[in-house]
Chain A
Amino acid sequence: MDKTENNKTGKKGRRDFLKIFLSGGLLGFAAITIYPIISFLKPPKQTEVEVTSVVVGKIDDIKPGESKIIRFGNKPVIIIHTDDNKFRALSATCTHLDCTVQYKKDEKIIWCACHNGKYDLYGKNVSGPPPRPLDKYNVTIKNDELIVSKEA
């Protein structure tokens, strides 16, 4: 009587051990299969060169009342030549939902076509959904060349 009972508990112990051993092994295997897949999906870091200033070109390239969008690293920057002959450089990325803005000559505003956001020529958000002003960049003129740099 005692013997068979002992046998039974022994069997149960072994069964439990196998259960834990096998399901643990399977779980471990699943983990080492999924780990490379998740790592693979992570986009590798591309080394980006930190840009601090960009030479846009000659002053004459942008006439008064005109604008131009240039590349500043990976980001677009809008340069506006105002009617009173000043240059302004602002981030061209709308602070609302990442669209690229444009200069509206007739209204003298910066306008985003996506959701009708408006900024004045200093980059201040004046109407529509944009929550913040556009980031400012510095414009310097050296030997008739227009240079845009990050505001320190």
Chain B
Amino acid sequence: MENKLKKIYKWIDNRVQLGDLVNFMSKKYVPVHSHSIWYYFGGVSLFFFIIQIVTGILLLFYYKGSADLAYESIRFIMSKVQFGWMIRSIHSWSANLFILSVFIHMFSVFFEKAYRKPREITWITGVFMFVLSLAFGFSGYLLPWNELAYFATKVGTDIVGVVPFVGEPLKYFLRGGDDVTGATLSRFFGFHVALFPGIFTFFLIIHLLLVQRQGMSEPLHFKNLEKDQKKTMPFFPNFMLRDLLLWLVVLNILAILAVFFPAELGLKADPLASAPAGIQPEWYFLFMFQTLKFLPAHVLFIEGEVFGVLLFGLAGLLWLLVPVWDRKSARGQNNRLINYIGIFSVLFIIILTIIGWVLK
């Protein structure tokens, strides 16, 4: 058995020089310090993404992407298909935890200033993937074609419409017409299962290749230590085994959540019904939604909503370009401003999410 495996390895090694790769992996070290825990969230996010692909493909075996059949096909999955309720619930839970994990990963990288030279491209591809994750959430939310999804999509695409110049055409494009109809569902289905996964995978490959190539970023306090004072751990197998163990724990958490809190289906979307009371977007959109609610009808000479959308757009752009304008961290100096911005952002998101939650 072992001999056979060795033979297969040799056969491949002969052709693609696996030895180089193994050599590279064996020389890769992960810094060990008080903030090492944050290194795990990228891997956890990756795991959630893998879960989404697997459960998503499984759901595609039974899901029907049309306004007449979508709701019924999901009811079929939930009630008739063996473990259908579990696969859908895991997909739903994993989607939420994926976004949470991505938030944590992104903020930890921000606070550690790991985006600084030479990791600007890793950061930028990461922010793109973050935005895509939200788009994944938004498009996937419509697919069951239930009441909540229908109105969330109406509101969400309507907000896109307020963006100056491009808003209206973009809204029309997203909806596949003037209103949210079966045409919107078909589009969102296409975005969710084909377009977004394709683009996401492209960024993910670059992101992962860069992480492997450049290794883990060292925080400033660690970087300035003497070489013999730096504690490290081999990436393979030490760090990887820890990663895998964590994935196992995460998979168990997902199973427990799916069993005790399965995904709901609600009522089928009805374009003639009124919006139900207490309707809300998904939690990760809540802070933006709540901010727009708080803005007055007019700020200076522009409409409140337009102002809000522009403000978030500008904040997003600055966030994306932080490796460019944060010169101090790039030089290896401590930049307190970044910490203040990060703390402000975290507090802003948490407080407005809680307010949105309570005020529903």
The count of A-to-B residue pairs whose CB atoms sit within 8 angstroms is: 26
Q: Is A37 an interface residue (CB 8 A)?
A: yes
For the complex, give the distance between the alpha carbons of A41 and B248 in Å.
23
Chain B interface SS verdict (over half) = helix
**Selected contact of A40 from candidates B76, B84, B248, B251, CB within 8 Å:** B84
For the complex, give the distance between the alpha carbons of A40 and B61 in Å.
9
Q: Is A143 an interface residue (CB 8 A)?
A: no
Contact assessment for B81 and A36 in the assembled complex, using a CB-CB cutoff below 8 Å: no
Contact assessment for B80 and A40 in the assembled complex, using a CB-CB cutoff below 8 Å: no
Closest chain A residue to B80, Cβ basis: A44
Q: Is B86 an interface residue (CB 8 A)?
A: yes
Which residues of chain A have C-beta atoms less than 8 A from B81's C-beta?
40, 44
Interface string of A37-78 (1 = CB under 8 A from B): 101111010000000000000000000000000000000000
Which residues of chain B have C-beta atoms less than 8 A from A36's C-beta?
82-83, 86-87
Q: Is A21 an interface residue (CB 8 A)?
A: no
Which of under 10, 10 to 19, 20 to 34, or 35 or more describes the interface residues of B?
10 to 19
Given contacts A40-B58, A41-B61, contact A33 B251 (CB under 8 A): yes
The smallest beta-carbon distance between B330 and chain A, in angstroms, is 44
For the complex, give the distance between the alpha carbons of A41 and B81 in Å.
8
Interface string of B79-95 (1 = CB under 8 A from A): 01111101100000000
The smallest beta-carbon distance between B84 and chain A, in angstroms, is 6
The smallest beta-carbon distance between A69 and chain B, in angstroms, is 26
Which residues of chain B have C-beta atoms less than 8 A from A42's C-beta?
82
Which residues of chain B have C-beta atoms less than 8 A from A41's C-beta?
58, 61
The smallest beta-carbon distance between A82 and chain B, in angstroms, is 42
Which residues of chain A have C-beta atoms less than 8 A from B251's C-beta?
33
Which residues of chain A have C-beta atoms less than 8 A from B76's C-beta?
44
Contact assessment for A29 and B248 in the assembled complex, using a CB-CB cutoff below 8 Å: yes
For the complex, give the distance between the alpha carbons of A37 and B83 in Å.
8
Residues of chain A touching chain B, judged by Cβ–Cβ distance below 8 Å, are 29, 33, 36-37, 39-42, 44
Name 16 extra pairs, CB < 8 A, besides A39-B83, A40-B58, A40-B82. A33-B251, A36-B82, A36-B83, A36-B87, A37-B54, A37-B83, A37-B87, A39-B82, A40-B61, A40-B81, A40-B84, A42-B82, A44-B76, A44-B80, A44-B81, A44-B82
Residues of chain B touching chain A, judged by Cβ–Cβ distance below 8 Å, are 54, 58, 61, 76, 80-84, 86-87, 248, 251
Closest 6 CB pairs of A and B: A36-B83, A39-B82, A44-B80, A40-B83, A39-B83, A44-B81
